[in-house]
Chain A
Amino acid sequence: MNSLVEVSGVSKVYARGREQIEVLHHLDLQIPTGDFVALMGPSGSGKTTLLNLIGGLDVPTDGSITVGGERIDRLSEGALARWRAAHVGFVFQFYNLLPVLTARRNVELPLLLTRLSAAQRRRNADIALELVGLRDRSAHKPGELSGGQQQRVAIARAIVSDPTLLVCDEPTGDLDRQSAAEVLSLLQRLNREHGKTIIMVTHDPKAAEYASHTLHLDKGTLVEHGELPLP
């Protein structure tokens, strides 16, 4: 299977005052297209940093990152923004929906960067909401939805522009077990039925069970690769 994500010799160093903190050490990683990878590890192990680098939210101090054949570590800030808009969907732990917008308007946000007409944007947003089972809540604002529903709206926003890659940072970290199961099932369905490549950071071994692979990070280094039975 072709690699969608290739991380090669990546290091990331942050400056905290005079101190230099190396969060990732010469990390190598390949994630095939259509994979669902869970990134696990203790706090401070560099999971979110790695996710941010793969998602093009940050750039490595050293090494290269290639996604879909494109060296994203070489892109300028503007080009990286355009690349994210076209290729990556993001799901955060705290949903990060805009509270003043309805679910539909939140889902439409990435489409504002496209040339689609208002009617097309609305139609695509409705399709994405349908896919996450919230078509009937499209006119509700985030404050009127449960945590699980908000996260499903966030997933709809992440997939509405049909990105190749979904990066999810603790998507169930703020949800009860039932809502978490619904969200994870949804991600699994997106992976299996729609071919989305998903990289998910999680602390929860139960959540990791939904992934097809698990990577463990510790102190900025990959310590083991786990292949889990499908739940």
Chain B
Amino acid sequence: MKYLHLVLSALLRRKTRTIFTLLSVLAAFLLFGLLDSVRSAFANAGHDIAGVDRLVTVSRISFTLSLPKSLLERIASTPGVAEVSYANWFGGVYQDPKNFFANEAVAANFLDLYPEWQLSPAEREAFRNTRTGAVVGERLARKYQWKLGDKIPLQATIFPQKGGSNAWTFDLVGIFHENDPKQKDQEDVLFFNWDYFDEARAFGNGNVGWYVSRVSDRKMAARVAQAIDMLSVNSDHETKTQTEQAFQASFVSQFGDIGMIVGMIMSAVFFTLILLTGNTMAQAVRERVPEFAVLKTIGFSNRSVLLLVLAESVLLIVLGGAAGLLLAGVAVSALSVSIGGALPMLPVGAPIWARGLAIMVLIGLLVGSLPARRGMRLRIVDALAGR
């Protein structure tokens, strides 16, 4: 700590250069914070889901292909299945395409399979009994300032009504609440009655998007999944059943290898940062060769000089990087509110900070190593003589 003022004063020696370098580092780590937030969200998809006893059954060929509703009773009678429900992706747009949120047609008992979603018995009953009824998550209701009794118009993008109209209107009869603060994105969804959907849609009637089953014993989940898939083996609608966690993970993998994409972008960004800050540090040390010679003259060891330069380099990167991650935290919070669930983003929390700090220190050591070596190895008499 007693050398801190030496390190800080070295950084403040050329304020403009330091500020621009800090801004470059800040920009790089702002980008890192944002991208790592998205990457983490994709990587964690499904990991925190409460219902580990739920299985999701979709078409083996593609998630987008429908399954016959006739499978319902067969799945329900499969040993180990306690309850089964179904749903269909609707893909409606509220007022403007940029107002993206998930909206799904679900069977009357669908919400029963998700006890973590808190919905009052009266609202649950209203949903069952109202043909055009819809329930939404609390966060979504708050975002669009919906209240019970409101009519919510959605513009269909996939399923027009039989008359050709794309306008679907639902009556808001329930607002559910997710207790787990980590799962608040589960509230960015609107559910409406499948019966209404199936009767009114122009095509695809009698088919469902996916089934959700609750198993009576979670230890039997793998065996039950296998049994469900055996129901339609060698048919034109073969299924793939997996736990909800695995399903979520495979769903997000459809977007590509987010980790690899983020990794490639960040590699390019950090490579540029290393060149930039490496050049800055080299220049800073070159300018101060006589000063390092003086330090060594008065008794600073080679190691002390090496550590001073490395500390300066690491401090420069950590200051800029920490500012970047702080800004990323603010940006992620703001973006999460403004774009809702359109792009999953995890808060810039401890894991992202830990990764970020590790990268900062690594880059700091890397860009400081060559200049530090130069400072360490300089010969005092040559440096003092300006050779």
Q: Which partner residue on chain A sits nearest B14 by CB separation?
A: A100
Interface residues in A84-99 by Cβ distance below 8 A to B read 84-86, 90, 92, 96, 98-99
Pairwise interchain contact A92-B12, C-beta atoms closer than 8 A: no
Interface residues in A134-168 by Cβ distance below 8 A to B read 157
Q: How far is the CA of A58 from the CA of B379 in the complex (A)?
A: 9
Q: How many residues of A contact B (CB 8 A)?
A: 25
Q: Is B2 an interface residue (CB 8 A)?
A: yes
Max chain B C-beta neighbours (<10 A), residue from A100, A101, A109 = A100
Q: Is B291 an interface residue (CB 8 A)?
A: yes
Which of B9, B298, B303 is A100 in contact with, Cβ under 8 Å?
B9
Q: How far is the CA of A137 from the CA of B384 in the complex (A)?
A: 26
Q: How far is the CA of A85 from the CA of B294 in the complex (A)?
A: 12
Tell me which residues across on chain A come within 8 A of B3, comparing CB atoms.
Answer: 112
Max chain B C-beta neighbours (<10 A), residue from A52, A84, A90, A112 = A112
Q: Is B296 an interface residue (CB 8 A)?
A: yes
User: Which applies to chain A's interface (DSSP): helix, strand, loop or mixed?
Assistant: helix
Chain A nearest CB from B282 CB (Å) reads 19
Pairwise interchain contact B296-A81, C-beta atoms closer than 8 A: yes
Tell me which residues across on chain A come within 8 A of B298, comparing CB atoms.
Answer: 84-85, 90, 109-110, 113, 157
Which of A77, A96, A100 is B12 in contact with, Cβ under 8 Å?
A100
Q: Which partner residue on chain B sits nearest A83 by CB separation?
A: B299
Interface residues in B294-309 by Cβ distance below 8 A to A read 294-303
Which of B10, B290, B291, B299 is A113 in contact with, Cβ under 8 Å?
B299
Pairwise interchain contact B291-A81, C-beta atoms closer than 8 A: no
Pairwise interchain contact B381-A52, C-beta atoms closer than 8 A: yes
Pairwise interchain contact B299-A86, C-beta atoms closer than 8 A: yes
What string of 1s and 0s marks CB contacts (under 8 Å) between A200-218 and chain B?
Answer: 0000000000000000000
Q: Is B13 an interface residue (CB 8 A)?
A: yes
Pairwise interchain contact B297-A84, C-beta atoms closer than 8 A: yes
Pairwise interchain contact A90-B9, C-beta atoms closer than 8 A: no
Q: Is A105 an interface residue (CB 8 A)?
A: yes
What string of 1s and 0s marks CB contacts (under 8 Å) between B351-387 and chain A?
Answer: 0000000000000000000000000000011001000
Pairwise interchain contact A101-B300, C-beta atoms closer than 8 A: no
Q: How many residues of B contact A (CB 8 A)?
A: 24
Pairwise interchain contact B5-A78, C-beta atoms closer than 8 A: no
Pairwise interchain contact A98-B299, C-beta atoms closer than 8 A: no
Tell me which residues across on chain B come within 8 A of A74, comparing CB atoms.
Answer: none
Chain A nearest CB from B375 CB (Å) reads 14
The tally of CB-CB contacts under 8 A between chains A and B is: 61
Tell me which residues across on chain A come within 8 A of B299, comparing CB atoms.
Answer: 81-82, 84-86, 110, 113
Pairwise interchain contact B290-A96, C-beta atoms closer than 8 A: yes
Pairwise interchain contact A109-B295, C-beta atoms closer than 8 A: yes
Q: Is A57 an interface residue (CB 8 A)?
A: yes
Tell me which residues across on chain A come within 8 A of B380, comparing CB atoms.
Answer: 52, 57-58
Tell me which residues across on chain B come within 8 A of A77, comparing CB atoms.
Answer: 302
Q: How far is the CA of A122 from the CA of B94 in the complex (A)?
A: 69
What string of 1s and 0s marks CB contacts (under 8 Å) between B1-44 and chain A?
Answer: 01101100110110000000000000000000000000000000
Tell me which residues across on chain B come within 8 A of A81, comparing CB atoms.
Answer: 296, 299-302
Tell me which residues across on chain B come within 8 A of A110, comparing CB atoms.
Answer: 298-299
Interface residues in B129-163 by Cβ distance below 8 A to A read none
Which of A92, A100, A113, A118 is B384 in contact with, Cβ under 8 Å?
A92
Tell me which residues across on chain B come within 8 A of A78, comparing CB atoms.
Answer: 301-303
Pairwise interchain contact A113-B9, C-beta atoms closer than 8 A: no
Which of B2, B9, B297, B302 is A101 in contact with, Cβ under 8 Å?
B9
Tell me which residues across on chain B come within 8 A of A99, comparing CB atoms.
Answer: 13
Task: Pick the 10 closest A-B CB pairs, nearest first.
Answer: A85-B299, A100-B9, A96-B294, A110-B298, A81-B301, A84-B299, A57-B380, A100-B13, A58-B381, A113-B299
Show 21 A/B contacts (Cβ-Cβ < 8 Å), sorted by A: A52-B381, A58-B381, A81-B296, A81-B301, A82-B301, A84-B298, A84-B299, A85-B298, A86-B299, A90-B297, A98-B9, A100-B10, A100-B13, A101-B5, A101-B9, A105-B9, A109-B295, A112-B6, A113-B299, A118-B2, A157-B298
Chain A contacts to B: CB under 8 angstroms: 52, 55, 57-58, 77-78, 81-82, 84-86, 90, 92, 96, 98-101, 105, 109-110, 112-113, 118, 157
Task: Kindly list 18 other residue pairs between chains A and B, CB separation below 8 angstroms, not including A57-B380, A96-B290, A96-B291.
Answer: A55-B297, A57-B381, A57-B384, A58-B381, A77-B302, A82-B301, A84-B299, A86-B299, A92-B294, A92-B384, A96-B293, A98-B9, A100-B10, A100-B13, A101-B9, A109-B298, A110-B299, A118-B2
